[in-house]
Amino acid sequence: MTEQVSGDAAVECLAKGLPPGRGTLLKEITAGLDPLISFLSEQYLEDYICRGGSKMKFVTGRSGSGKTHFSMRILDEAAERGFLTVSFSAKDVWLHDFREIYLEILRQCDIEHVLQGCAGQIIRELGYDPTEIEEGKSFMDFLSERGEADPISRGEIRSALRTYFTKNPLLDNNFAFCCSILTGGILGHPVLEPASRELVLSFLHGDKSVKLGQLRALGLSPSRVTKINARHLLRSLAEVVHLAGYAGMVVCIDDLEMLMNRAAGTTMRYTKLRRNDAFESIRQLIDDIDNMRYILFLFAFDRGLMDNENAGFKTYQALWMRIQNEVVSSRFNCFADILDLDRYAEESYTEDVLIEMSEKFAKILSKYGWPAAALDREKVRELQERAKFGGIGIPYLISRAVLSNETD
C-alpha cells in the first residue's frame, strides 16, 4: 500500500488516478467518504477496539471505487487516535501462509520500539518519569546515579516484567519470555548481552537459521514461527502493543484480488492450492478474531474476488459460508463486515458530492501546475450514467475527467 508522499510526487499519483499517499493531502481531496470514515472511527476506533474488541472488515468495489483511498484514511484516523498502524499489499506478501502475514506485521511494528513503550510504562508504574532519563542511558543507570539501584528496586523491576509478560496468560510463552528479556535489556536489568539480544530478535522474526539448541540455552522452548502458531503470536503482539501504551492495532491488507493471479512467470503466482491455503488462512482468522483484543483488520479487494466463480471466494465454501450473508443486504450497512463502496457510492455520491469531489481534485492539481478544471452538473450526470454500466468506479472517472476536462 502506498505510504505517505509529498509535493509533486503526490500530485503525480493523483494525475494517474492513484491516492497521493497517507497524510494531509489525502484528507484534503476526500469527498463523500467522510460520513463513513467518521462512523467507523467513532464506533470502532474510539469505542469498540480501544476497549479490547477485535474486528475484521472487508472493503470491496470496482477498480477505482476508492478502496485504497478509504483504507489510507482509516489508517490516518487510527494513527491520530493513538493506534499503531500496519499496511501492506498482497502484491508484496504471500497470503497462503499466515506465518508470512504475521512476520510482515511484526516487522512493521518494530518490536524493539514497542518494547521501549512497555519499558516506559513500567518506569511510570515504579514512580519515575522516563523523560528524565538521558538518551543512551538505561533506567538502571538513572537509578545508580541517584543511589537507588538497590535490591528492592531490582526486585520491583523483575516483578513488573513478570506481570507484563511471563505471568500474562494472554501471551504465548516464548513470545512473553522474549519480550521480558528484551525489555529487561532496555531497562538495564536483567542485563542482556548483545549476542543474546540478536538471537532473541532473530527467533522472533522467524529466522530459520536459529538452532533449537541455542533457544534452550536461553530458556526458550525449542519451537519456531509456523502458520500453526502465527495467529496466537499475532494475538500476543496485539496485547504487547496495547501494554506499550497504544490504543490498539489497525492492520490493512490491500490488493487481495492478487489471489486470483495465475499468470505464469510472475513473482506472486497463486496456484489453486496456494489460493485455497490463503482462503483458509482468512477463514481461520475470522474464526479466531473474537479471541484477539485491540485489533482491527481491513482487507481491501476488487469485487471480482466475490463475483468470480472460478477463482474467487465462492470456490472455497468454508470461507464463503462465513461471509455470503453480508452480500445480500439491499442498503449499505456501516456495521456490515463487507463494505461495498460501489453500493455506498450509489446511495451517497449525489451530484453535489461529486461536484465537490471534482473541485477538490482541480484545486490541488491546479496548485501544482497541472491543467485541471472542476466539473459541471451535466458532466457529472454523464459520468454517473457511465459508471452504472462500466467496470470502473465513479471516483476514478471523476479524477480523470477533472484532469482532462473531458467525459469521452
- Note whether residue 228 is domain-resident: no
Last residue of a domain, one of 325, 347, 369: 347
332 with 390, same domain?
A: no
Do 241 and 342 sit in the same domain of this protein? yes
Burial of 194 (0-12, 13-18, 19+ CB in 10 A): exposed
**Which of 402, 394, 353, 408 has its CA nearest to residue 61?**
394
> Domain check: are 371 and 314 in the same one?
no
Residues 115 and 213 grouped into a single domain:
yes
User: Are 2 and 41 members of one domain?
Assistant: no
The answer to whether residue 106 sits within a structural domain is no
* CA–CA gap between residue 138 and residue 320 (Å, rounded): 52
Residues 240 and 92 in one domain: yes
Mark whether 147 and 212 lie in a shared domain.
yes
With respect to residue 104, please indicate whether it lies within any of the assigned structural domains.
Answer: no
Beta-bridge partner residues of 60: 301, 340
d(CA 404, CA 15): 10
Specify whether 92 is located in the same domain as 241: yes
Look up residue 350 and give its amino acid. Answer: T
In a domain, 224, yes or no: no
- pTM reported for the whole predicted model: 0.92
- Is residue 325 in a domain? yes
Q: What is the CA radius of gyration of the chain?
A: 24
Q: How high is the pLDDT of residue 222?
A: 86
d(C-alpha 321, C-alpha 343), whole Å: 21
Please indicate, yes or no, if residue 230 is contained in any of the structural domains: no
Model pLDDT, residue 53: 96
**62 and 153 fall within a common domain:** no
**Distance of alpha carbon 153 from alpha carbon 53, whole angstroms:** 35
How many Å apart are CA 178 and CA 189, to the nearest integer? 14
Residue 25 lies in a domain: no
CATH number of 241's domain: 3.40.50.300
Please give the full DSSP string across 151-202, using - where no structure is assigned. Answer: HHHHHHHHHHHIIIIIT-TTS-HHHHHHHHHHHHHHHTSS---HHHHHHHHH
Verify that 183 and 171 share a domain, yes or no.
Answer: yes
218, 252, 285: which is the final residue of a domain? 218
C-alpha pair distances (Å), 167 with each of 74, 173, 176, 186, 392: 34, 9, 8, 19, 53
> Which one of 218, 251, 274 terminates a domain?
218
386 and 401 part of one domain: yes
- Strand order across the beta sheet in which 54-61 lies: 83-89, 248-254, 295-302, 54-61, 338-340
List of E strands, 247-344:
248-254, 295-302, 338-340
Q: Is there a domain that residue 57 lies in? A: yes
Q: How many domains does the chain have?
A: 3
The amino acid sitting at 253 is: I
What cell was used for 155?
526486585
- Over the chain (408 residues), the average pLDDT of each successive run of 10 is 57 75 85 94 96 96 93 96 97 95 97 97 96 93 93 96 97 96 96 92 93 86 91 97 98 95 75 95 94 97 92 93 69 88 93 93 83 90 90 90 66
Q: Which domain holds residue 369?
A: 1-20+349-408
Do 143 and 169 have their domain in common? Answer: yes
